[in-house]
Amino acid sequence: MPEMARRTVLKNGLGLLSLTVAGRAATAAASFPDHQITVVCPFAPGGINDLCARVVARGLEQAFKQTAVVENKPGASSILGMAAIARSAPDGHNLVTCSDRIVCFPTIGATPFDIEKDFAPVTRLVVVPMFLVTRRGLGVKTIDELIALAKSNPNLTFASTGSGSTTHLTGSLFKARAGVNLVHVPYKGSIPAINDVVAGHVDVMFADLGGVAPFIDSGYVNAIAVASAKRSMRFPNISTFAEQGMADFEASLWIGLLARGGTPPETIAKINNVVRDTFADTELAKPIFNLGAEVATDTSENFIRLIDKERARMAPILRAENIHL
């Protein structure tokens, strides 16, 4: 076959293939969802991430009239659950809730997936204030008292929801700012971590409001400060870090929703619209509001921009603190 004719046939063949693939993607997006939707929570049951996954599933099920279930797959700093989604079909039927630790993955260590290529951001869900809490009997009521104790006892421990998590990073930054040593003890989620603080096995933790509120109410942990710009409406008697003399120390946890990378944009838009409506519904999202979390749903495009911005902001901090998975 002459070279020119061969190129023409090849070009036409590739064009037909592209049209076929695009057509199949459009058909799949139009029929979504056509079977069960699974929302994976990569953390243990009971925490804010798990609660968000259940609200998402409930909203999708009601809107699409299709079964939606939550699967908890904790482990390896959320990598285990996320890896399951990275291996799934890019059709929107498999989703995963995530924490803001995803912005750290490219910097803190190798993962069995490419966080930028294997996942498609759908929307951020909520933002939750972080509280510095201690076990009962530690004998400190302020940040200065905790710093003084840590300087005299370099073996104090602090719990986190996993290496590279917001709770880990916040604890590491506190250590650096305060000039103290705290021994890091990572867990597979907020509930097992908080439970060990309550039990007295670990001394200190930066915990999200959703997981720690009941224990503050009951007095099973002591809340020293809130790491936000202003006091929490849920606990207005707990002062901020700035009020106790540590300026510009702010930290919050956010939870987001991801689909498999390559999911058709039309499907992402469908999910995004339903999830935003769900979290705007005061009845469906009542469990979220009861924990004092702030709804932060937005477009998928804005969520992508937020992730990029946070990734650039956190990378030099992670390197300076030498934080790895």
Taking only the tens place, the pLDDT of each residue in 34-53 is: 999 999 999 888 888 999 99
Region 98-124: mean pLDDT is 90
Using pLDDT thresholds of 50, 70 and 90, give the confidence band for residue 31: confident
65 dihedral zone (left: phi>0; alpha: psi -120 to 50; beta): left
Strand partners, 69: 38
Comparing 23-32, 180-189, 299-308, which segment has the lowest mean pLDDT?
23-32
What is the reported pLDDT for 71?
A: 97
**Residue that wins the pLDDT comparison between 183 and 76:** 183
Using pLDDT thresholds of 50, 70 and 90, give the confidence band for residue 60: very high
Residue with the two structure tokens 């937020």 = 306
What is the reported pLDDT for 24?
A: 54
Residue 65, pLDDT above cutoff 60:
yes
Model pTM score = 0.77
Mean residue pLDDT across the chain: 89
Region 216-242: mean pLDDT is 93
Using pLDDT thresholds of 50, 70 and 90, give the confidence band for residue 21: very low
Region 182-209: mean pLDDT is 93
Listed residue (85, 159, 158) closest to 122, CA to CA: 85
C-alpha span between 80 and 112 (Å, rounded): 9
Using pLDDT thresholds of 50, 70 and 90, give the confidence band for residue 240: very high
Q: How many CB atoms lie under 10 A from the CB of residue 319?
A: 11
User: Do 35-127+253-321 and 128-244 have matching folds?
Assistant: yes
What are the domain boundaries of the chain? Answer: 35-127+253-321, 128-244
Region 120-139: mean pLDDT is 95
Region 259-267: mean pLDDT is 97
What is the reported pLDDT for 26?
A: 56
Per CATH, which fold does 35-127+253-321 belong to? D-Maltodextrin-Binding Protein; domain 2 (3.40.190)
Cα 310-111-72 angle, rounded to 5 deg: 85
Residue 5, pLDDT above cutoff 70:
no
Using pLDDT thresholds of 50, 70 and 90, give the confidence band for residue 22: very low
C-alpha span between 273 and 293 (Å, rounded): 20
**Residue that wins the pLDDT comparison between 215 and 22:** 215
Residue 181, pLDDT above cutoff 90:
yes
On whether the 128-244 domain is CATH 3.20.20.70, my answer is no
Residue 9, pLDDT above cutoff 60:
no
Contacts of 197 (CB under 8 A, 6+ apart): 133, 134, 135, 159, 203, 204, 205, 207, 215, 221
Q: Tell me the angle at which helices 166-178 and 300-321 cross, rounded to the nearest 10 degrees.
A: 40
